[in-house]
Amino acid sequence: MHALWSIITNNKKAYSNHPETLRWKGRLGALYMRHEKLVEEMANRGYKHHTPLDPELATGESEQTEFVTPYDEQVKILRERGCDCKV
């Protein structure tokens, strides 16, 4: 996640045309929010987070609309696992 952030915010050439990087271009607001959710999950699991992202760079769309696996399919996959996940 930090690599994606760095590639996009610093206009780095390495991996700049990778499909996952392209998926987040113009959506730094969404990437920032995803990062914050991950930080929250880390805290819930007892981990400490020491590498915050700069919220001033969180520009663009605040919601990710391009998914590798469509949202409905992701929910189906989670439900089929038979866990107590809230989906």
Where exactly are the structural domains of the chain?
2-80
| Mean per-residue pLDDT of the chain | 94
Q: Is the pTM of this model over 0.85?
A: no
Positions of the chain with pLDDT under 50: none
Residue 46: per-residue pLDDT: 98
Residue 28: per-residue pLDDT: 98
Residue 16: per-residue pLDDT: 96
CA distances from 12 to 16, 19, 40 (A): 7, 15, 28
CA–CA separation, 72 vs 33, rounded Å?
21
Residue 62: per-residue pLDDT: 95
Residue 83: per-residue pLDDT: 82
Instruction: State whether the Cα torsion 62-78-1-8 is positive or negative.
Output: negative
Q: Residue 60 in 3-state DSSP?
A: strand
